[in-house]
Amino acid sequence: TFEEKDDTIVIMAATGAANLRKDTSYSSSTVFKSLNNNEELHRTGVTDGWSRVEYEGGTYYISNNVIIELAVLEGFEATTKTVEITATTISVRFAPGRTSDDPIAYFKKGDKVEVIGFNANIGSAGWYMVKLTKTDDQPHEFGFISAHGDYSKIIETIVETPEE
């Protein structure tokens, strides 16, 4: 049974794409179409593990593991700051708060990371949106790390004014 929804979701799959399915089964025969990350879909319902969406005039299904609500992404305030990783390692996630998913990258202690967004409303400490270097093995331009103070610290950038 699906809980009715009327919102927009965004595809954010660790692999860079996700399958839109004819029903709530992972069978290859149920794949309707593969969609790329950052594509937006109109969601009409949600249940454990699945979202029901409208696409090109039809009703399809997509795993909740590969999507995020657009409202969550829009909740990130744009920022430009650098954090230094203080934990031994920190996992970079393809969606904020998804700590059970496999990481898309890792940072290690001492790494300097460019923060491009912050959302204080996710988890107890919020999450940073961080810039990533896109490669063949890592198709994402950005990812998410916990903003918890046990894992990183903000580096104050000192802007020197030129002498006159």
Per residue of the chain (164 residues), what is the pLDDT tens digit?
999 999 999 998 877 789 999 999 999 999 999 999 889 999 999 998 999 999 999 999 999 988 989 998 899 999 889 999 999 999 999 888 888 778 889 999 999 999 999 999 988 899 999 999 888 777 778 899 999 999 999 986 545 566 76
Give the per-residue SS3 of the chain: CCEEEEEEEEECCCCCEEEEECCCCCCHHHEEEEEECCCEEEEEEEECCEEEEEECCEEEEEEHHHEEEHHHHHCCEEEEEEEEECCCEEEEECCCCCCCCCCCEEEECCCEEEEEEEECCCCCCCEEEEECCCCCCCCCCEEEEECCCCCEEEECCCCCCCCC
pTM of the predicted protein model: 0.73
How far apart CA 71 and CA 50 sit, in angstroms, is: 18
Condensed to tens digits (0 to 9), the pLDDT of residues 14-31 reads 777 899 999 999 999 999
